[in-house]
Amino acid sequence: MSVLVYTENWEGKFKKLSFELVSYASGVARMLNTSVIALSLGKVDDSELKKLGNYGAQKIIRADSDKLSVLDNQFYSAVIAGIAWKENATVIIVSNNNTGKAIAPRLSVRLKAGLGSSVSRLPISISPFTVYKRTYSGNAYAHMVIKSDIKVLTLAQNSFELIETADNSEIENTTIDVDIADVKTTIKEVQKQTGKLLLSDADIVVSGGRGMKSPENWAPLIELADAMGGATACSRPVSDEGWRPHEEHTGQTGKIIAPNLYIAVGISGATQHLAGISSSKYIVAINTDKDAPIFEAAQYGIVGDAMKVLPKLVAAVREIKK
Amino acid sequence: MKILVCISNVPDTTTKIKFNEGNASIDTTGIQWVINPWDELSLTRALELKDDPASGVKSVTVAHVGPASSEPTIRKALAIGADDAIRINAESPDAFFVASQLSDVIKKENFDIIICGIESSDFNGSAVGGMISEFLGIPSVSAVSGLKIDNGTAVLTREIDGGKEVVTVPVPFVAVVQKGIAKEPRIAAMRGIMMARTKPVKTIEPVPSEFLTNIVALEKPSPRTTCKFIDPENAEHLISLLQNEAKVI
């Protein structure tokens, strides 16, 4: 028996979410009284792999193949499921990011394993195996029993603290042995943003809504995000109007994020917007309307004009960062 | 080419969720049921493709797993423009069960492109689309924000961390779609509503399957502490609170 965690890499490097995943897997393994195996696919060097050991991975399996250069959901799932069988894994954990969401349901069918998606805490109990997961777009949380022998979980990003431990890991290389001959996904074009902090990776997010009044008014908001080392986001009307790019839309139908700090500027706080940001650790609201529902979701609020408030905040942040 | 759009019937996204006694299910009194927002966008995109003769899309079918009470949502999809509908007459205990039912229908009806929303706004499982593809052993592309058909080949844009990839896959395949797939959901016109009444809805009984998960309890998210207000004239005080009290900067 073991807990298998799939740790995605980005050009050979791991991110904070990789370590969150391994920390979480260690917690689950402790409950089950078993060990954690981390699986890495593609080219990652030993020193990078060893970092997973700092969060509790006992065995780190590396598999590489040219066929892994494209994310083909079918092929990736077959590889991960194959290793899960071989290692006798009873719980398989992946991130609830784009890749994890693409792979987890396929693993579920391949392994006939119940899927607990977007879990944000350790299982409530292991017998019956009960997970705590987001439902109704964050308006409720469910206790969900997974009754199959094997379980697949996707972990909500930024929902679990990193837990460091003494490295006690060993790296094992393995060959890929699957019954799928061809990778069917062909990449025609890649468009990458470079040098920009990704919204999903950001600990601090400054977000603007229709209350910003016009796209020309974004300068102080961007300045505040830059000064804080954060990323910028926006509400749906703003991206629909084309004031900001669609990638920035946070909310039920846009990105769902959980930064440590979310600053909502000129956002009224409709249910659909809150669905995308309610897992943030701290929410700050800046709005001219004191009755705006965003203040009910926020721990800190300023009732005032963003154009007057933002420059003061930028100055204060620069002062403490000096 | 035949497109199937899988639709889920969910409470209107502005619904204030209340629980039944025992906290294991929601109180559906007064709830307005709608097509899951991502499925509505999927349907819109499928219809846009059908409207373009160059795409070669001949029909758009919707499929749903649910009891007879979900018919109004199916009729709405027909009113928006789907040609016909299939309803698998079963409550949906979990995603595994739903995906196995839909897979069985797809096997019999030979659809080329199967479109599912990235998640349903009720169970947020992000599960059914990917599960169908694995049941059928066909490719899937997830986080799809663009779908077109170019000389008979489906070209998909998918979101990756920090960017986009344009990919192709052979039919049949499952596209799991998200925001961007269509700009605005298409709205049913009066003519469409009239026509929907006579469009075929095939009701079929479920095939034997099982479910692997079940929800035993629901709880509300823990309430946040009340909002602490800072005087806008003294806005910089917020930064000191974030630094010293919340300790997030």
For chain B, the structural domain boundaries read 2-221
Residue A149, chain B, CB below 8 Å: the answer is no
- Tell me how close the Cα of A243 comes to any Cα of chain B, in angstroms: 15
Does residue A68 have a pLDDT over 80? yes
The predicted pLDDT at position B118 comes to 96
Residue A244, chain B, CB below 8 Å: the answer is no
Residue A118, chain B, CB below 8 Å: the answer is yes
- Tell me how close the Cα of A148 comes to any Cα of chain B, in angstroms: 6
Cβ contact A106–B26 (<8 Å): no
Residue A261, chain B, CB below 8 Å: the answer is yes
Tell me which of A109, A228, A265, A305 to substitute to probe the interface with B (most B C-beta atoms closer than 10 Å): A109
Write down the H helix ranges in A57-197.
73-86, 98-110
Judge if A2-174 and A199-321 fold alike in CATH terms: yes
Task: Let me know if domain B2-221 sits in CATH 3.40.50.620.
Answer: yes
Cβ contact A302–B122 (<8 Å): no
Tokens of A6: 């799939």
The predicted pLDDT at position A181 comes to 73
Residue A42, chain B, CB below 8 Å: the answer is no
Cβ contact B239–A313 (<8 Å): yes
The predicted pLDDT at position A193 comes to 79
For residue B141, list chain A residues with Cβ-Cβ distance below 8 A. Answer: 73, 102, 185
3-state secondary structure A179-241: CCCCCCCEEEEEEECCCCCCHHHCCEEEEECHHHCCHHHHHHHHHHHHHHCCEEEECHHHHHC
The predicted pLDDT at position B162 comes to 81
**Among B161, B170, B224, whose Cβ lies nearest the Cβ of A184?**
B170
- Chain B's closest residue to A271, CA to CA, is B14
Which residues, other chains included, contact A270 with Cβ-Cβ below 8 Å and sequence gap of 6+?
A293, B14
Nearest-angstrom CA–CA distance, B56 and B71: 29
With beta carbons less than 8 A apart as the criterion, state whether A5 and A39 touch. yes
Cβ contact B38–A317 (<8 Å): no
The predicted pLDDT at position A177 comes to 83
Which residues, other chains included, contact A244 with Cβ-Cβ below 8 Å and sequence gap of 6+?
A208, A215, A218, A232, A234, A238
Grade residue A214 by pLDDT with cuts at 50, 70 and 90: very high
For residue B44, list chain A residues with Cβ-Cβ distance below 8 A. Answer: none
Which residues, other chains included, contact B21 with Cβ-Cβ below 8 Å and sequence gap of 6+?
none
Portion of chain A with pLDDT greater than 70, in percent: 100
Backbone phi, then psi, for A238, in 5-degree steps? -65, -45
Cβ contact B140–A136 (<8 Å): no
Tell me the one-letter amino acid at A221.
L
The CATH number, out of the four listed (3.40.50.620, 3.50.50.60, 3.90.180.10, 3.60.15.10), of the domain defined by the range A2-174: 3.40.50.620
Tell me the one-letter amino acid at B89.
N
Tell me which of B238, B243, B244 to substitute to probe the interface with A (most A C-beta atoms closer than 10 Å): B238
Using one digit for the tens of pLDDT, what is the confidence trace for A70-126?
999 999 999 999 999 999 999 999 999 999 999 999 999 999 999 999 999 999 999
- Chain A's closest residue to B215, CA to CA, is A144
Does residue A283 have a pLDDT over 90? yes
Tell me which of B103, B239, B247 to substitute to probe the interface with A (most A C-beta atoms closer than 10 Å): B239
With beta carbons less than 8 A apart as the criterion, state whether A316 and B236 touch. yes
CATH number of A199-321: 3.40.50.1220
**Among A148, A186, A282, whose Cβ lies nearest the Cβ of B248?**
A282
- Tell me how close the Cα of A217 comes to any Cα of chain B, in angstroms: 18
Cβ contact B141–A185 (<8 Å): yes
Look at residue A277 and give its three-state secondary structure: helix
For residue A18, list chain B residues with Cβ-Cβ distance below 8 A. Answer: none
The predicted pLDDT at position B190 comes to 95
For residue A140, list chain B residues with Cβ-Cβ distance below 8 A. Answer: 17, 19, 26, 218-221
What is the predicted ipTM? 0.95
Q: So where are chain A's domains?
A: 2-174, 199-321
- Tell me how close the Cα of A296 comes to any Cα of chain B, in angstroms: 7
List of chain B residues with pLDDT < 70: none
Cβ contact A284–B238 (<8 Å): yes
Does residue A178 have a pLDDT over 90? no
Using one digit for the tens of pLDDT, what is the confidence trace for A144-172?
999 999 999 999 998 999 999 999 999 99
